[in-house]
Structure 1
Amino acid sequence: MAITLIVGALGVVFDTTIISVALNDLSKDLDAPLSTIQWISTGYMLAVFITIPLAGWVQSRLGGRRLWVVALGGFLVGSLLSALAWNATSLIAFRLVQGLAGGIMLPLMYTLLMQAAKGRNIGKVMAIITVPTALGPILGPVLGGLTLSLANWRWLFFINIPFCLVGMWLAWRNLPDDRPTPGQPRVSLDTVGLLLLCPGSAVLLYGLSQVDGSTGFASAQVLIPLLAGLALVGGFTAWALTRVTVPLVDVRMFRHRSVASSSTLLFLGGISLFGSMMLLPLYFQQVRGATPLGAGLLLIPQGVGALVARGLAGKYMDRVGPRAVALVAFAFVAVSTVPFAFVTADTSEILLMAALLVRGIALGAAMIAPMGAAFLGLEHEEIPDASMITRVTQQFGGAVGVAVLLVVLQRNISDAHTPDALASGFDHAFWWSVALTAAAVPLCLLLPSLPESTVPGDTRTQHSSKNMGSTTK
């Protein structure tokens, strides 16, 4: 089941970052300025945020298997149309189709597997299911650079086709048929919540995407959408807390310490992951003079480290609990980022790649532990809401991280004209990344440890089992 979901999700996850190395090529081939081309990525992310909150409600109406196949089909159509786009406007529109389908799939992937696991071996489950989300930001630029070196930009979308076709076939064959039974009461759509939360999330992300280094967060093009988005999301929160029936996303899930603490750490983890993925390629290209493919290849050690972390973090999470794993992991992410705060134009690439390997291991574990901890102690019907909440907080953390670090970077390199001066500007941005990551370390103590039922030799669990046996007799 995990393999089935991963195959289908790989195209969606890679498509989030694969375009980042193709912006210059797209600008030339489509004869459009970079300010317009940037919407190929921004529009995709906005569409993702619109449909993430809808995943739980649509799953309750269609069932997980049918929804997964429909969403993969929509992503396939969006990929084909994007590959055949004739200008920048059409490509942006077709990327929106991809984003609408991808926004359904990402939280649904976690929901289906966590529901099937029923709270067992959460560490191992998270080690498997987070493979594509770890590889996307790291290997996406590498795959994009390699594709552009062998073919044109249209193949960035054609390569999604085999993932979608094989993923749809595997899903229809391997996923359980969980369609709602006829006559079963249907969950009604929270229309008011939909009109508040979906546009509110998208407007917030749009405001963050408009941040630049000259004015930062003070410009009207940033402040107006940010305030409007906060007002809409705040209105949804008030509506959800007072609603008698089930809201679009049940914000009362934050009463669970597991969900509240995990969401906070995933927000900070998103800052560390996506913020650094903006800084590192820019450093290698602007200071070291690397090509897009070269910059992507230099990031491979971080991807290898993230893969290594999957098995280790899952094993120790089931053994000692997510709290201990997260505490060590976030501390190592902060420490392994420190070398980049001292970079110069001549810093050894071997030293930087070694630091990236350690950072990848720590970052992989730092994302697994809180994501798995979020589902501890939850009922089966609460898992879809937890999936959506954790996914949204991580993505918002990434948007905030990119916006903040971009402002710091641009303000420190605006007058830099030499490689050493540029490197000094990157030093400041990396120090900010270290500080934001270090802030997460004490918060790891808020994560739950292992639930009582999973602790070896727990006498209360054994006693409960004996009582259950005697009751059955």
Structure 2
Amino acid sequence: MSRSRSAPLDTSVEALRAHYGERYRWLLLLAVLVGTMASIMSSTVVNVAIPGLSHQFSLGQERAQWVTSGFMVAMTVSMLTTPWLLSRFGYRATYSGCMWLLLTGGLVGGFAHNFPLVLAARVAEGLAAGVVQPIPAIIIMRAFQPHEQGRAIGMFTMGVVLAPAMGPSIGGVLVDWFGWRSIFFMVAPFCIASLWLARRYVPTTGPGGVVPSRSESLDWVGLLIGTVGTLSLLDGLVSLRTEPAAHAGGLLVLALVCFGVFIWWQGRRARLGQAPLMNLRLFSWRPFAMGSLVAMIYGTALFGSTYLLPVYMQMGLGLSASSVGTVLLPAGLVLALAIAAVSPWADRLPANSLVSMGLAILALSFALMVTVGPSGNMWLLVTYSIIGRIGLGFILPSLNLGAMRGLEKDLISQGSSVINFVRMLGGAVGVSLCGIVLEWRLGVYGVSLSGGSTHPETRLAAYNEVFLMLAVLCTLAMLAARHLGSHGGANSGADIAAQTRQ
């Protein structure tokens, strides 16, 4: 009896699977689900607090958006380190360390009394979130049979989307009642629960059940180049509106140079037999290459809109933070239902069809936003948000499977890390891009972001143009989605699952 209540002394993946039986893979998925929910909630819920932060620290638009962009940069870059951390320290140490860092960042941000400390806390949270988010896909591709992978990723994703669905609603109420600081404390209960679950269900071994090895060093040079390139790209985008053209152009050129040097460096390490931060062999698999392109454009549209919508409703339509949560909550719940409905199809239908359908619906939701007038009809906002989330319900369970099925076994960890990296790189660009284009269009119309009730129609025209830009991006992503892998590839997935259980 006591054996069933406590975890075994041997915490390797084989021992835990023998102890808990067939249900173990679902218990492991639950354990990483809670931590991933915390990381995703920390990435999105802060958006409802941006107006409060701006007022507290007298921030302009370009500085306020770094609360989100700083998190995104840290999360994007740290995703590339996940395969190395897992092979060096194992699942449990890597996962638990990230949860401690996320918890610390939340507490420090909540108690901070100056903006640099808030920004530092957000960067710490981003580093933790970036390492954690590729882990679930690695587990699903290794621990589940191909005919279960769609259902597993669907159940996992359905749980994960509850974080951004519930987060803005709860966060909006907390901001109205207790101020912006309460937003940072929201992740604490999730982090504590995830640490407890990790001690019971997350193995100490690395991917494939192997014992962590300290023989391979991290590609620090590649990580530095990637970090400098990402920061240069985002800072260059922001500088397009705040600095002379030569300054912004120099940063963007530096970002381009860093990108080229990064690719050269990764190829050189591979030729020398050293582990690269990003294995370029991944892109020789066409479905993965096209899936990465879709993920980048999709990330730009998704995270750009996640930043834009709360600002649009609060500063464009004059709604309160709690009203923003009220609008977004039904859409989040519909997203969970849509994922539950679409997930079984991901095991049977071509991924390219499901992803293309989702992108078309998402583009439609952005285009419909231009029909909302200055009065801010709540029912229209709820309806259009729901339409967009239905589109996400088609994309989320299908994109990773369509891109990663058929990859060699030793590339699965890298594949999950890289596709999450390019999605978040697109997201980081999307947040900056929406802020830049919005500020540019507001300037063209001669109004400010917080211009009160003056010129509401012209202010909304600026927002509408940004929504149309997002719709065009989703339409472009559909061209690449046509080349995603189909539901075929189950045989290669079966080989992978069989190999990892040996």
What is the CA-CA distance between 1:336 and the residue it aligns to?
3.0
Q: Does 1:227 find its partner at 2:256?
A: no
Structure 1 stretch displaced more, 181-190 or 122-131: 181-190
- Structure 2, unmatched stretches of 5+, are 1-27, 448-453, 496-502
Partner of 1:325: 354
The equivalent position to 1:395 in structure 2, one of 411, 418, 424, is 424
Any residues of structure 2 matched to 1:410-425 within 5 Å, and which? 410-414=439-443, 415-416=446-447, 417-425=454-462
The equivalent position to 2:278 in structure 1, one of 249, 266, 269, is 249
The equivalent position to 2:110 in structure 1, one of 51, 76, 83, is 83
What is the CA-CA distance between 1:4 and the residue it aligns to?
1.0
What is the CA-CA distance between 1:169 and the residue it aligns to?
0.9
Partners of 1:119 and 1:375 within 8 A in 2: no
Q: 1:182 to 1:273 in 2, by over 3 A?
A: closer
Letter in 2 for 1:286: M
Partner of 1:74: 101
Letter in 1 for 2:254: A
Q: Does 1:51 find its partner at 2:78?
A: yes
Partner of 1:372: 401
Structure 1 stretch displaced more, 373-382 or 23-32: 23-32
Any residues of structure 2 matched to 1:273-422 within 5 Å, and which? 273-346=302-375, 348-414=377-443, 415-416=446-447, 417-422=454-459
Partner of 1:239: 265
The equivalent position to 2:149 in structure 1, one of 104, 118, 122, is 122
Any residues of structure 2 matched to 1:142-153 within 5 Å, and which? 142-153=169-180
**TM-score, with length taken from structure 2:** 0.82
Partners of 2:44 and 2:306 within 8 A in 1: no
SS at match of 1:22: helix
Q: Does 1:107 find its partner at 2:144?
A: no
Partner of 1:427: 464
Partners of 1:325 and 1:365 within 8 A in 2: yes
Partners of 2:282 and 2:415 within 8 A in 1: yes
Letter in 2 for 1:395: M
Distance 1:298 1:95 in 2: 26
Q: 1:452 to 1:373 in 2, by over 3 A?
A: closer
What is the CA-CA distance between 1:64 and the residue it aligns to?
1.2
Count matched residues. Answer: 454
**TM-score, with length taken from structure 1:** 0.87
Distance 2:108 2:441 in 1: 40
Aligned CA-pair RMSD: 2.8
Partner of 2:484: 447
Partners of 1:23 and 1:34 within 8 A in 2: no
What is the CA-CA distance between 1:120 and the residue it aligns to?
4.4
Partners of 1:266 and 1:367 within 8 A in 2: no
Q: 1:119 to 1:330 in 2, by over 3 A?
A: same
Any residues of structure 2 matched to 1:152-301 within 5 Å, and which? 152-179=179-206, 186-212=215-241, 219-243=245-269, 244=271, 245=273, 246-301=275-330
Structure 1 stretch displaced more, 154-163 or 262-271: 154-163
Distance 2:433 2:66 in 1: 19
Per-residue CA deviations over 1:283-319 (Å, capped at 9, x if unaligned) read 3223432112212321223212321221122111112
Partners of 2:291 and 2:480 within 8 A in 1: no
Partner of 2:4: none
What is the CA-CA distance between 1:119 and the residue it aligns to?
4.1
Partners of 2:48 and 2:310 within 8 A in 1: no
Taking only the aligned residue pairs, the percentage that are identical comes to 27
